[in-house]
Structure 1
Amino acid sequence: MTPAELAAAAAGGCVAVAVALLVTGRRGSTDGRPVAAPASPWTRRLRRAWAVTGDPARPHVDRRRRALGWAVAGVVVWALSGWPVAGLATTVAGLWMPWLLGSTRVVRARIEKLEALEGWCRRMADTLSGGGAIGLAQAVVTTAARVDEPIAPAVRTLARRLRDGAGDRSDYHAAAMREFADDVDDRTGDVVAAALLLALHQQSGGIAGVLRQLADGVARDVRARRDIEAARAESRQSIRILLIIQAALLVLIGLTPNFAAPYNTPVGQAVMAVLLSGSAFLLVWMRRLGLGRPAPRFFGSSGEFAKTGAP
């Protein structure tokens, strides 16, 4: 490609990216009023793909700037190498690589949530045994202010509903516990929520012992998950090393004219696209394996209890 063609390609790529980002940022509203977005499957897939390109807690403007930065980096790589596939791969890798390699962070967040659940069960048991609360509902309300952060919002919402609930107490407790199970969103959380609901109905004198048994069960689950993650750590490190080697190899090929010549043809670019797509597919597969398939839930708004109407 001549310098003029490279400049034209770079300018066209920047304009296309700017227009795409502008449409993405403005699609949600017109003149300040919400507009119903299409609900086609492709639209939902694109939204999910866009959602994982950055931290959901960060402003959308930061996410758009990050996307624009990586798009410009891709255009620069394309201009320098003459390989459009390499430029596209640079943009895609910059935007989605943190998500592809982020299974460890997701699993760690799940484990921390279960550890917080274990600590909360033990705290309620100690509160009941020490006479700091009369009944499980009061124990929930009393301990809500001293819950670890991963489940703090869910516990505080549950405490507020138990404290302010009126009418049919049985149905209200069931709805509150299902909502709590949905907030935790884990099968172990379903076990705790279902046990708490049964304890609220029975109000027997052995609730503290039941809570300690629940805490012991959650602790065993946490230990098992930590052992699994420790076994997977070496594989994840190997994947990162292989990715670094692959990226370095592409750079070396680009800097060596004799090796880079075959990739300057359309067939060479097609081969590069197939190879890089295979790498991306393997990364997605490894992420799914790393996260594992979550155990099916049985409690909550979509669980069997909600379907059958059982408490």
Structure 2
Amino acid sequence: MLHARTERMEALATWTEMLRDTLSAAAGLEQAVLVTADIAPTALEPEARKLAAAVRSRHPLPAALRAFAEDMDDPLADVVVAALVMASEQQASHLAPLLGELAESVREQVAMRQRIDAGRASVRTGVRVTVIVTLGMVMGLVVFNRTYLDPFNTPTGQAVLAVVGALFAVSFAYLTAIGRIEEPVRLIGPATARATAGTEPGGTR
């Protein structure tokens, strides 16, 4: 899943650069979206073609872009779409340089996520090795030297086992928690995209 997401975000950065280059050639934003959607990177092709179809169907560009953000479902995509929506609604100037900076930012975020995941992968590997070795040792004692475990049959031994088990559970819960990557809050939520997706130039459908 991480690999697929990485491909989509790299494709988003490439598409953003394509928009920048097309805008630099004096094309309008709507025309740039239509032109680049047809040649978008493969990982972004379904969402880009859906965006182009919405624009060709005379949906307002801001609404089509918000629907595109919902399809992408990623905070990084929301940042790019927010800039495009602002430009389409307010005729923002200097959009092309901004898109170049956003594309670079997306790539930096993707690279950072990859570095973080690589570091945490080594931690997860260490945890798996520890668990396997511990369980292997316990099973070995049960099979080959059961008398070694006799002290744990006493109430005191059971209490010690309970404490050790609790420590293992807390440790695994902590490692699971630090293994998660907290996502930033999305700028364009699904509710907003759905509310605006049905708007047409003449009003609400």
User: In the alignment, what sits opposite 1:128?
Assistant: 23
User: In the alignment, what sits opposite 2:132?
Assistant: 244
User: In the alignment, what sits opposite 1:253?
Assistant: 141
User: In the alignment, what sits opposite 1:158?
Assistant: 51
- How far does residue 192 in structure 1 lie from its aligned partner after superposition? 0.7
Which string of whole-angstrom CA distances, capped at 9 and with x for unpartnered residues, describes residues 118-157 of structure 1?
Answer: 11101222333357xx322222222224333443332222
2:37 and 2:130 map into 1 onto residues whose CA distance is: 46
When structure 1 is superposed on structure 2, of 232-241 and 268-277 the one drifting more is 268-277
Question: Which residue of the other structure, out of 40, 54, 62, is the alignment partner of 1:174?
Answer: 62
- How far does residue 202 in structure 1 lie from its aligned partner after superposition? 4.2
- Is the Cα–Cα contact under 8 Å of residues 62 and 88 in structure 2 kept in the other structure? no
When structure 1 is superposed on structure 2, of 184-193 and 235-244 the one drifting more is 235-244
Give the TM-score normalised by structure 1: 0.50
2:65 and 2:138 map into 1 onto residues whose CA distance is: 54
- Is the Cα–Cα contact under 8 Å of residues 115 and 218 in structure 1 kept in the other structure? yes
Q: How does 1:33-52 map to 2 (within 5 A)?
A: none
Percent identity between matched residues is 34
Which string of whole-angstrom CA distances, capped at 9 and with x for unpartnered residues, describes residues 99-119 of structure 1?
Answer: xxxxxx54x444333222111
2:5 and 2:103 map into 1 onto residues whose CA distance is: 16
User: In the alignment, what sits opposite 2:35?
Assistant: 142
Q: Which amino acid aligns with 2:109?
A: D
2:163 and 2:145 map into 1 onto residues whose CA distance is: 21
- How far does residue 290 in structure 1 lie from its aligned partner after superposition? 1.7
Classify the secondary structure of the residue corresponding to 2:179. helix
- How far does residue 262 in structure 1 lie from its aligned partner after superposition? 5.3
Distance change in 2, residues 1:272/1:164 (3 Å)? farther
- Is the Cα–Cα contact under 8 Å of residues 124 and 211 in structure 1 kept in the other structure? yes
2:48 and 2:33 map into 1 onto residues whose CA distance is: 8
Q: How does 1:148-227 map to 2 (within 5 A)?
A: 148-166=41-59, 169=60, 173-203=61-91, 206-227=94-115
2:115 and 2:70 map into 1 onto residues whose CA distance is: 26
2:29 and 2:152 map into 1 onto residues whose CA distance is: 71
Structure 2 unaligned runs (5+)? Answer: 196-205
Q: Which amino acid aligns with 1:213?
A: E
User: In the alignment, what sits opposite 2:198?
Assistant: none
CA RMSD of aligned residues (A): 3.6
- Is the Cα–Cα contact under 8 Å of residues 177 and 300 in structure 1 kept in the other structure? no
- Is the Cα–Cα contact under 8 Å of residues 135 and 203 in structure 1 kept in the other structure? no
Distance change in 2, residues 1:186/1:259 (3 Å)? farther
Distance change in 2, residues 1:251/1:160 (3 Å)? farther
Give the TM-score normalised by structure 2: 0.70
- How far does residue 183 in structure 1 lie from its aligned partner after superposition? 2.4
- How far does residue 175 in structure 1 lie from its aligned partner after superposition? 2.9
Distance change in 2, residues 1:145/1:201 (3 Å)? same
2:151 and 2:47 map into 1 onto residues whose CA distance is: 54
Distance change in 2, residues 1:199/1:283 (3 Å)? same
2:92 and 2:10 map into 1 onto residues whose CA distance is: 26
Distance change in 2, residues 1:185/1:236 (3 Å)? same
Question: Which residue of the other structure, out of 297, 300, 310, is the alignment partner of 2:186?
Answer: 297
- Greater RCO (CA < 8 Å, at least 6 residues apart): 2
